[in-house]
Structure 1
């Protein structure tokens, strides 16, 4: 299927089978009414959550309501994503969203009411055999209790929520709406306006003047607004400090790690271990300089492909077979579900008019997951298939082995299963490639994943830690200090082989993730954990596979760090990052051998 067709024209074998979730709209309407009825039962528990029987009953009701509401929401939105212009499913999606808000509001009394009990009363409930299934929920409530304030104070913090969002909102408006970039000349000598969307395309240009012009124009534009942007970022940091202090956390970083119960050492180990392995990054920069035949390697030379586009035409059926074959190391239990998923309407494959762009894996407990693709016959789409099926298999095995309450895994774990599939696919392709140009293309693709997902995101994470530490020590964050910190980090990470252009000092001003503080490290830890798993599976075979399947089946039945540790990846130590770095070193060795 190459031409873009209307949804009604898409053959059935290329569509996902949403009837497995709801056979028709009448079934959806019936379940919607059931949720509305269930919500009327909640007021009976207001003010009564002080004994095991009431708490057990309200938790069971909470799960029943949440599960049905999730099914309604997922179905309505996936139908909407089939054709975003279809008014029927626009309306259904809106209806589901409104119900979701109503459900959240109706359930919101449960946690504060239980937390109003004393610590002794909570401990008695945790020890009560009648509540054994909900022990983990209650233990988590007890863990958060020191950071939950009085009812009046919580209401005040809730009212401050809109103010707290202001720095991120203001940055978004400056960055996406108000900021205007100049025109630069493209490869044909035509004047073209620089935009966020075109920036990376310009940096990938074979014409070095185009790359340099885009780079200089981008950061000159941010430089003109450096005072405003520094004030906005500083306001976001001050917001974090305010909440950390109000909620009695030692620091903003520890507050952000608390939710997933991640030790501070996970964050610091990542930075320290990447520092140890910066010589590998410097080697890669030297290789990039050599392959691009440059006297000086500049910051605007980081995205230009090292190999001319290698055209690998891969149909969906070929991609499916290659992905399946590459995942053979995961064993028959995994493969039998994967085989079934390919034949049982899990995947919506091709683009059609109005279909949501991109790709995702989604679903609701009690039904198999679904995967939305917009498949093109190329290498990138094959990796996307491997990635999304990793998510889908994680969800399937978690749901099949955990009760609803404990099936959902955290964001800290989410990218591990998807990235592991990509690592196994890469290993499979490299081992079977006998075309030097193809091998070079694959190796540079992989090396750049390490550069962007591990090294660059760790550099971002280190920048966030430094600037929060300075703010917590009472230092002011001026555009000059932010730029100096950021410039020095680039010098450190890219090494002497790189000519670190002064303009890069303004890059901190354009990273939206800095307004979702202390999030980016998860990209690097997830990639490292997945690479470590892949290495163990390829080196050890069945014992490592069994541990990994245990990880996939765990859902959220324990803290993320413990789930990984049981499976053989201890993120509280530097070992998984060292494992990932040994794979990166192997990639560099192969690249250097190929380019002698």
Structure 2
């Protein structure tokens, strides 16, 4: 099927076998309308529980009503938005999507009294409820409320904090405006010698250029532009850190880092272990940098040489049918049950395959409890799209097993866990592809693709995580931020991570100013832990076989029925220890060794 922009098919012309079957959620618009009305009616029943949640029977009835409403609104919302994503220009589904969003806000407001009211109960009463067999289905919910209790304030204080909410978004909003709307970059010469304006989107394309002068000019122009705004950007990042300190003190946490980890109940050691274990393995990254220098054939490796491909573009033409088959073959180590579910996903309308006019870009896995998961793709017949299929089906099967094995409350897994299932599939696919080919060019292309994932997802994100930790600790110690201090901290980290074997250009000291993730504080470490956990699982599955597969399927079936760290630990990956990161690093070392053989 063609995917060139000029000839994109209209949605109505997409063959049924390439479309997802949203009729599995609602067979008709009437069915959607009926459930919409049902939610409206049920919202009227919520009032009767106000002020009554100190009684086990009333609490159970209220939780059951909350579950019923939440499940229905989830289904209404997911369906209307997936219909909208098929063709964003279709006004019918634009309106339906808006309608479900408005109802979702109404639901949120109507149910918002439940948690604060339960938290006014004494610790003893909460513990009685946790032990009450009639409330067994809500044990984890109540345990979580008890855990949060010390950090929930009085009604008046909570109301005040809620009002501060809009102000607290200001640093991120201001950064977004400055970065996306007001920042203007100069023109530079592209590979053909034409003057082209530098933009965020073009920057990575320029850094991937074969022409070193283009790379260097883009790099210098990018950071010179940020440097001109350094005082404003330092003030914006500083305001974001101040906001985090305010919330952590207001809610009585020992530090901003611990406040951020508390929601997912992640011990501080998971974060600090990641940094210290990556420090142990920095010589591997330095070795990869030396290999990159050798493969590029340059005397000095610069920061602007890190994204250019190490081998000539290897065009792998992979049709969708071939991608499905290869992914299934690669996932054989996960056993027949997993493969049968995967095949059902292929055959039974889970996947929306190709691009069409007006379709949302990118890829995702989504769905609602009580129906099978769905995957949106914009498949191009290439290697990248095959990895995207493996990745998104990893999410989809995680949701399938969670929903099948867990009640509604306990099925939803955290972001901390989400990337494990998707990345594991990619790791198994990569292992399969590498073992299957004898073509030196293909092998080298795959090895560099994988090695760069380690560099960008594990090392680079850990460096970001370390930068966030340092600046918050400095703020907690009473230091104030100047652009010079931020640049100095950031430059020193780049020197430490990239090693003596390369030139760490001074311009890179301004990179802190352009990372949007620093406004979603203490988040990036999840990329590195997720990738490490998945790599560790993949290694165990390939080496141990069935026992490791059983543990892994147990992980998929656990959903969110326990705290993330416990779910992983039961499955054989203890993220509070350095072991999974060390296992991931041993895989990275094997990759480098293999690449070094071909580089001779």
Question: What TM-score bracket applies, with the shorter chain setting the length?
Answer: over 0.9
What is the alpha-carbon root mean square deviation over aligned residues?
0.5
Is 1:506 equivalent to 2:510 in the alignment? Answer: yes
Q: Which residue of 1 aligns with 2:480?
A: 476
- After TM superposition, which residue ranges in structure 1, 4 or more long, deviate above 3 angstroms? none
Shift of 1:594: 1.2
Aligned to 2:309: 305
User: Which position in structure 1 is the counterpart of 2:352?
Assistant: 348
2:418 is equivalent to residue 418 of structure 1:
no
Question: How far, CA to CA, are the matches of 1:81 and 1:139 in structure 2?
Answer: 37
The partner residue of 1:4 within 8, 12, 23 is 8
TM alignment of 1:347-496, pairs within 5 A: 347-496=351-500
Residues 220-258 of structure 1 show CA distances to partners (whole Å, capped at 9, x for unaligned) of 000000000000000000000000000000000000000
Find the counterpart in structure 2 of residue 102 from structure 1. 106
1:123 aligns with 2:98: no
SS of equivalent to 2:562: coil
CA positional deviation for 1:127: 1.8
* 1:260 Cα deviation after fit: 0.5
Q: Give 1:326's match in structure 2, choosing from 326, 330, 338.
A: 330
Which residue of structure 2 aligns with residue 45 of structure 1? 49
C-alpha displacement of 1:117: 1.1
Q: CA deviation at 1:43?
A: 0.3
| 1:129 to partner: Cα distance | 2.0
The structural deviation recorded for 1:136 is 1.2
2:220 matches 1:211: no
Partner SS, residue 361 of structure 1: strand
Which residue number in structure 2 is paired with residue 294 of structure 1? 298
Task: Output one character per residue of 1:202-223: Cα deviation in whole Å (capped at 9) or x when no partner.
Answer: 0000111100000000000000
Aligned length: 596
Match of 1:175 in 2: 179
Q: Equivalents in 2 of 1:168, 1:397: separation in Å?
A: 36
Q: Could you list the per-position Cα deviations for residues 489-527 of structure 1 after superposition, in whole angstroms to 9, with x for gaps in the alignment?
A: 000000011100000000000000000000000000000
Aligned to 2:74: 70
Q: Secondary structure at the match of 1:318?
A: helix
Partner-residue secondary structure (3-state), 1:137: helix
1:124, 1:394 → 2: CA distance? 33
- Asked whether 1:61 is paired with 2:65, we answer yes
Aligned twin of 2:578? 574
Aligned partner of residue 233 in structure 2, secondary structure: helix
Residue aligned with 1:365, SS: coil
Whole-angstrom CA distance in 1 between matches of 2:368 and 2:163: 32
Give deviations 1:279-314, integer Å, cap 9, x for gaps. Answer: 000010001000000010000000000011101000
1:457 is displaced (CA, Å) by: 0.1
- Give me the TM-score of the superposition, normalised by structure 2: 0.99
In structure 2, C-alpha distance between the alignment counterparts of 1:129 and 1:20, rounded to whole Å: 35
Deviations, residues 1-56 of structure 1 (Å, cap 9, x unaligned): 11410000000010000000000101000010111111110000011111101100
* Helix, strand or coil at the partner of 1:480: helix
* Structure 1 alignment gaps of length 5 or more: none
Give the Cα–Cα distance (whole angstroms) in 2 for the partners of residues 142 and 401 of structure 1: 25
Larger mean CA deviation between 124-133 and 523-532 belongs to: 124-133
Q: Which residue matches 2:557?
A: 553
**TM-score, normalised on structure 1?**
1.00
Structure 1 residue 126: Cα displacement: 1.6
Structure 2 distance, partners of 1:303, 1:408, is: 36
User: Counterpart in 2 of 1:315?
Assistant: 319
Could you say what secondary structure the match of 1:312 adopts? coil
* Deviation per residue, 1:524-557 (Å, 9 max, x gap): 0000000000000000000000000000000000
User: 1:246-281 CA distances to partner (integer Å, 9 max, x unpaired)?
Assistant: 000000000000000000000000000000000000
2:154 is the alignment partner of 1:147: no
Structure 2: distance between partners of 1:12 and 1:473: 61
Deviations 1:318-338 (A, max 9, x none): 000000000000000101101
Residue 563 (structure 1) aligned with residue 575 (structure 2):
no
Which residue among 114, 128, 137 is the counterpart of 1:133?
A: 137
